[in-house]
A and B are shown apart, each in its own frame.
Chain A
Amino acid sequence: MNQFVPPEIDWAALSPVLIVLGLAVVGVLVEAFVPMRARRATQVVLAVVGVGAALVAVAWRWVVVQDEGPTAVVAGALREDAPALLAQAILLVCAFVGLLVIADRSSGEDAFAPAAAAIPGSAYEAEARKAGLAQTEVFPLTMFAVGGMLVFPAAADLLTLFIALEVLSLPLYLLAGLARRRRLLSQEASLKYFLLGAFSSAFFLMGIALLYGYSGSVRFDELATAVPATSGLDGMLLAGVLLVIVGLLFKVGAVPFHSWVPDVYQGAPTPITGFMAACTKIAAFAALLRFVYVVVPGLQWDLTVALWVIAILTMIVGTVLAVVQTDMKRMLAYSSVAHAGFLLLGVIALVPSGISSVLFYLLAYGLATVGAFGLLTLVRERDADGNVTGEALHLSQWAGLGRRHPVLAVCFTLFLISFAGIPLTGGFIGKFLVFGAAIEGGAWPLVVIAVLASAAAAFFYVRVIVLMFFTEPAGTDADPGTTVVRTEGLTAVAVVVCAIGTVLLGVLPGPILDLTASATKFML
């Protein structure tokens, strides 16, 4: 019989994950033991400090890895290499600003239902609202999601990847259902996300089973060595790889696995949408990169067709559908689908610069996304009595915003032009890098489509800008209908950080490019 050998565990290498998950657990205990009054403050501090500390830990590990080279952690279940750490850092940066938006209580209340289990519209819910209950579970849940996301880019075997996938997904399913307003929409979003997610997880597992059957291993490196060595089981390999990729593409929101994106983005509480849109995409793309770059090179010819079709569909569908949206969140949702398509270009390129370009793109996209959704939380409707109510998400409600609230509108414009990939913003550099990598990888027909899609995408981004600056607002000056609430400051900080980041990435991307340039190779 085989003697069971406990794996050597390099706790230091795990420190970022441990910090985040540990504090998430502490957050659960806080829910149980800390008195109501102090609970929220404690949770916010815990979460923010936790993510910050994890970021510091990642930076420290980066230095170590630069010195000592990449290592396999926990008996090869995880890899600590430059792309993994960089992806984690990007993730933590976006999670940090995302958390600030989540923690913000504009107009005196946060974005979450006071009692999520209450039936929408019931008296109980009204009581809970009146009592000023707050759902501070949001913070540990977010931390758990971040923990899963941190593991995702580093996972080097399929089972770890799956567990990370679930750890990051389950809290998100829940968080999507917590919106304070439009409760039914939110719950529907949560349910859809969960059901569709469950199916894609099932496919993912089925793919793992096939790959295990093919190679006798779930480890990426052993899979990679098995690919050229094994013959006669190609169908199994191909089906397995495809199914695993389906699971990842679902998280990324690539067509045709995108259908949840608009509904969930719209239904989820806006701060969560921002967090989810940025961070899930970062984590999933980092994982997809590792899987594709490590496992797939041996069979790129067989997979190319599928990946090309998906990339093309994603770019076109995302762009074309975004054109007609009249809801801000849905528009941004489709735009994120289109961005997934652009990012896929870097994945398909299969050249070293593909890795670094995707990572850069993710950072630029993540910052702009969190910032944009953060701003959405501030623009509110006002009812007849002048009470501030839900977010003003219809396009027409944004008319003339630029004149009443120039700073907000300018920031939003900045994020939009970054999405559109106009120079001097991070979005442009990101697109440029990804397209460059795709050309280098011989995928120039894809770039042609990407260029066309970008041009069409400019249309709907610009339309919003036109609306904000060049259109007369609907209401009168006395009763504008749409108002901008004052924040506690957290969202403002987050938005400013995102805006500065977006500009810096566009104007002085040098240092970040140097970082990404050193992350061009996955450790086998």
Chain B
Amino acid sequence: MLQLLALHLLAAVAAPAIMRRFGRKGFLPLALVPGSAAVWAVVNTGAVVDGRGPTLDVSWIPALDMSLSFRLDVLSWLMVILVGGVGAIVLGYCAWYFASGAKFLGRFAGVFVAFAGAMLGLVTTDNTLVLYVFWELTTVFSYLLIGHYFDRKGARRAAMQAIIVTTLGGLAMLFGFLILGEAEGGSYTISELIAAPPAGGGLVTAAIVLVLVGAISKSALVPFHFWLPGAMAAPTPVSAYLHAAAMVKAGVYLVARFAPGFAETPVWQWMILLTGGATMILGGYRALRQHDLKLLLAFGTVSQLGFLILLVGQADRAVALAGLALIGAHAMFKAALFLTVGVIDAAAGTRDLRQLSGLAKHLPWATVPGVLAAFSMVGLPPFAGYVGKEAALEALVHLDDPMSVAVLVVVVIGSILTFAYGMRFLWGAFARKKGVPDTSVDKEATGLYVAPNVLAFAGLFAGLFPVAGETLLAPYADTYPQGEPGHLTLWGGFGIPLLLTGVIIVAGLLLMLGRTAIERAQELVSVGPDADRTYRGTMRRLDSISVAVTSITQRGSLPVYLGLILLTTVVMIWTSAYAGGLRIGALKPWDYPVQAGVAVVIAVAAFLTARARRRLKAVVLLGITGYGVVLLFALQGAPDLALTQALVETITLVVFILVLRRLPAYFSNRPLKASRWWRAILATIVGVTVTFVALVIPNARVTDTIAELFPEEAYNFGYGRNIVNVTLVDIRAWDTMGEISVLLVAATGVASLVFLRARAGRVERIRDHDMDRGSVWASDSPGDDALVRRSRTQPVRSTRNRRWISAGVALAPHRRSVIFEVATRLIFHTMLVFAVYLLFAGHNSPGGGFVAGLVAGIALTVRYLAGGRYELGEAAPVLPGLLLGSGLFLSAGAGAVPLAFGGVVLQSAVIDFHLGYLGDVHLVTTLFFDIGVFLVVVGLMLDILRSLGAEVDRQGEAEGRAAPDVAHDSPRSTADDAQPLEDALAGGGPR
């Protein structure tokens, strides 16, 4: 068994090489491969009929209950012969069908053989999951076969349609198998499932439906019937194989396989009756009006598949036997008919029955199989089709439950239609028509005629020996749950079945004679919704829905994305708050009423910030909220926090403004009015939610806060009374360590972003200033107000005693402010002293390294603002990297020292000593750590000033583009419209 599959695989892989070597005759050796499977089945016939067919069980994926278990019972035997036999014959036919120079034959042959192999595995495996695997493989391979003429749009669309419909069905089936496998008493082995179907319940019913959906989608039953006629875009041999023995037969096989176990379930019976019955009648009806012979046959197949599934899906043994016989008969006559059409198509160059005429005379060896096969199809004796249909009628007549009566009615109606379109096929293909000249035919190779004749005569042969068929097929039919065993015979005696056959023939002939009227009527009346159109409509709708959804949700707009996420989170929080009863505990509005006032100020400032159009305004308003928080801290009795916060606010403001100089004055791209409203609403909602959560969290505290331990611990272990500072340098010293490292990285990062080009390795001092070189700050075109001042301050270089700050001369006169320079001169050193004081006092009073660093930083900022970039170099003639590095080194070093004394890293110690007149000194070793922090903060500030301040200035000078003076911008001189200086000098004109 596995050898056969492996043979198919090998042949498929080798096919391209074979086809290259032998050309189109390469199909002949390849035909041996599926043929070998049929031979294998034939050889095993005796054993199979005795119920001792070969079996095989190889463990594959035990964890999934997937095992390569195969067995050859009667049903599989029948299918293997059909799959292998018809496959071989069709492949042989291909050797003459394709033009000798046809392209892509290698791929075609390979896929065809692989397809046959997949079918072989499908019909022999005993494991549902492996069956699914083969099922999907047939889907994929059939897709490739249908799409063989890939340059034709129709072929591509048909292939796509086929794969989507059958994949959907396949997945449904897999889902059904999963349920059947996991359900109580379920199994992944088919024979076990059939022998002991899992006990009922809604889930198993659902599983049955799902498995049947798989079957009917594969077999192109209503409502999935539309893909099969489309699939005739494939080369004719493929159509023959697909319609007769493979692909669509997989669905029939599945139904026949599961019927013994499930055919008595009501849902099964109803689905089979409805889909099978509707398909049989609809297919026949549609076939009556087709002009393309192949399409006519394709709708005929649809009809026949409904018929087959209707029969093999019944619970009765006799009906099932008839169904099995018809599976065989159908394979032979349908393949023969398709191949005949292929011959006609090749010889006459058309398949349109309105253009064909007189072929009976010119193509006798196409006519013979055509007639034989069509007779078999319409159920005329003594062909196999007759035997099967007769047996079906016989069996159904003897059953009297309503379901069977319904089936009988459907079968009779369907057979009448079948008779009619069968005759129409014969008439259309071979008859000589009035008014149509005889079609001229090319001479075709003899080999082309072999295959259809073999198949057609096989049908005749099988019909002549019905007993053989009965003997061979009965063992499987007997596994069905109900009724008497049926019989296959050519002559069943006089009775209702014979009468019905007569009715079918007469009515069919009448329909055939009235064919023109019927065609016309069909064109006028459209029957129900067109499934093909529905499918295409669905696909189109899917497309347009996704376009619409994309344009709504995925427009690349960050606010929309963010809004979506925020909204979802808000909904989640409120839902769970509602469902689980999230409560805010007791609330105290304020400690002092003043706090409420401050809060109002903060809120108003925040609101105005969001509304601000101008960046500068927003920044300043933001600063107000920050200073409001400072006030709150101070009111709460936390001077150290308030001090820190105030300094941080100040510096943030300065940095903001330094950056703003290079940005447009106004926020750009204001959102439209409507979107502004929803943004505001969303922001409010999110704000309320977050406030709510923020109120919930502290009230949910169940244990005492760790902060209560801090005052005592800070003094006992950190030897200081300023909890904030002790926390920084002792209790959470490791965190501080991390923080200052981050500061260092941040400073370096900012600097390297701004100093893109060459980072100056040295500090620019005033002596570096080239007075001759025009610089922006020195020669900006001033505003009117500045011009007034210019005349007074312009003339001389400042003499020693008039130089309040050393680098002021590097600035344009109108940029300078005497008051500012004097004030800077006065307070700079004071601030530095204050910083040092804070640094040393910090352990017990408000202050500390961080705060001290900020104060020193602000002092430097003042110098820079007053005197420009050279002044900064004068104020701090060191590289910030040095400060940062030594600071970090000092902190880390100070932290490591205790190790030398047997302590742990960052442990504090206290040293008290007397220093004469200076009094007692209470030195805590963390001071050194704090100094490191101080240096890092100063370094950071210096780095920011150097990069965002000085370097930005320098780049502005180099580019000749003035940094806008945000301090007193007028709408005339924003960065938006800042003119390059050189333009102005050169008299304008774009660069």
Contact = CB atoms under 8 A, between A and B. Distances in A.
Interface string B537-562: 00100110111011001101010111
Interface in A207-231: 209-210, 213-214, 216
Given A209-B697, A458-B163, A243 B147 contact: no
A259 B572 contact: no
Interface string B305-326: 0000000000000000000000
B576 A239 contact: yes
B794 interface: no
A191 B561 CA distance: 13
Interface string B682-724: 0000000010010011001111000001000100000000000
B695 to A, nearest CB: 12
Contacts of B568: 246, 256-257
Contact of B63 (A210, A302, A517): A517
Given A324-B547, A424-B133, A436-B178, A196 B753 contact: no
A432 interface: yes
Interface string B786-815: 000000000000000000000000000000
Nearest to B151: A472
A459 B569 contact: no
A443 interface: no
B562 A320 contact: no
A350 to B, nearest CB: 16
B693 A239 contact: yes
Contacts of A455: 164, 167-168, 171
Nearest to B176: A451
Contacts of A321: 546, 549-550, 553-554
A417 B136 CA distance: 11
B117 to A, nearest CB: 13
- The secondary-structure label for the interface of chain B is helix
Nearest to A117: B753
Contacts of B701: 213
B713 A1 contact: yes
Contacts of A344: none
A433 to B, nearest CB: 7
Contacts of A191: 558
Given A206-B693, A436-B178, A235 B562 contact: no
Contacts of B178: 432, 435-436, 439, 447
B583 A317 contact: no
Contacts of A124: 756-757
B455 to A, nearest CB: 31
B587 to A, nearest CB: 16
Contact of A422 (B61, B136, B572): B136
Contacts of B140: 417, 422
A110 interface: no
Give the most central of A417, A452, A462, A471: most B CB within 10 Å. A462
A444 interface: yes
Contact of A216 (B549, B696, B702, B713): B702
Contacts of B562: 195-196, 199
Interface in A469-524: 469-472, 508-510, 513-514, 517
Interface string A446-470: 0110011011101100110010011
B722 to A, nearest CB: 20
Contact of B752 (A117, A243, A323, A466): A117
A129 interface: no
Give the most central of A216, A259, A424: most B CB within 10 Å. A259
Nearest to A192: B558
A285 interface: no
Interface in A409-431: 417, 422-424, 428-429
Contacts of B558: 191-192, 195-196
Interface in B503-548: 539, 542-543, 545-547
Nearest to A420: B167
A130 to B, nearest CB: 15
A166 interface: no
Contacts of A195: 558, 562
A203 interface: yes
A431 to B, nearest CB: 9
Interface string B115-153: 000000000000001001100110010010001001100
Nearest to A302: B579
A501 B130 CA distance: 20
Contact of A259 (B159, B206, B553): B553
Give the most central of A192, A236, A320, A454: most B CB within 10 Å. A236
B133 A210 contact: no
B384 interface: no
Contacts of A422: 136, 140, 167
A234 interface: yes
A124 B755 CA distance: 12
Contacts of B167: 422, 455, 458
Give the most central of B62, B133, B554, B697: most A CB within 10 Å. B554
A77 interface: no
A213 B698 CA distance: 8
Nearest to A330: B554
Nearest to A456: B542
A238 interface: yes
Contacts of B696: 210, 213, 236
Contacts of A320: 542, 545-546, 549
B203 A117 contact: no
Give the most central of B143, B565, B709: most A CB within 10 Å. B565
A235 B578 CA distance: 7
A237 B581 CA distance: 10
B561 A192 contact: yes
Interface string B254-282: 00000000000000000000000000000
Contacts of A238: 576, 579-580
Contacts of A459: 160, 164, 539
Contacts of A424: 133, 137
A263 interface: yes
A338 B285 CA distance: 42
A447 B546 contact: no
Contacts of A462: 143, 160, 163-164
Contacts of B760: none
A440 B182 contact: yes
Given A259-B564, A323-B542, A463 B160 contact: yes
Given A256-B564, A262-B554, A324-B543, A203 B569 contact: yes
A439 B701 CA distance: 41
B293 interface: no
A262 B171 CA distance: 27
B561 A260 contact: yes
Give the most central of A196, A239, A509: most B CB within 10 Å. A239
A1 B752 CA distance: 47
Interface of B: 60-64, 129, 132-133, 136-137, 140, 143, 147, 150-151, 156, 159-160, 163-164, 167-168, 171-172, 174-175, 178-179, 182, 203, 206, 539, 542-543, 545-547, 549-550, 553-554, 556, 558, 560-562, 564-566, 568-569, 572-573, 575-583, 690, 693, 696-697, 700-703, 709, 713, 752-753, 756-757
30 contacts: A196-B562, A210-B700, A213-B701, A235-B576, A235-B578, A237-B580, A238-B579, A256-B565, A263-B554, A302-B576, A306-B575, A320-B542, A321-B549, A323-B543, A324-B547, A422-B167, A428-B133, A429-B64, A432-B64, A435-B178, A444-B179, A444-B203, A448-B175, A466-B156, A470-B156, A508-B61, A509-B61, A510-B63, A513-B61, A517-B63
Interface of A: 1, 117-118, 124, 191-192, 195-196, 199-200, 203, 206, 209-210, 213-214, 216, 232-239, 242-243, 246, 250, 256-257, 259-260, 262-263, 302, 306, 317, 320-324, 417, 422-424, 428-429, 432-433, 435-436, 439-440, 444, 447-448, 451-452, 454-456, 458-459, 462-463, 466, 469-472, 508-510, 513-514, 517
The 4 lowest CB-CB distance pairs between A and B, nearest first, are A235-B580, A235-B582, A213-B700, A470-B150
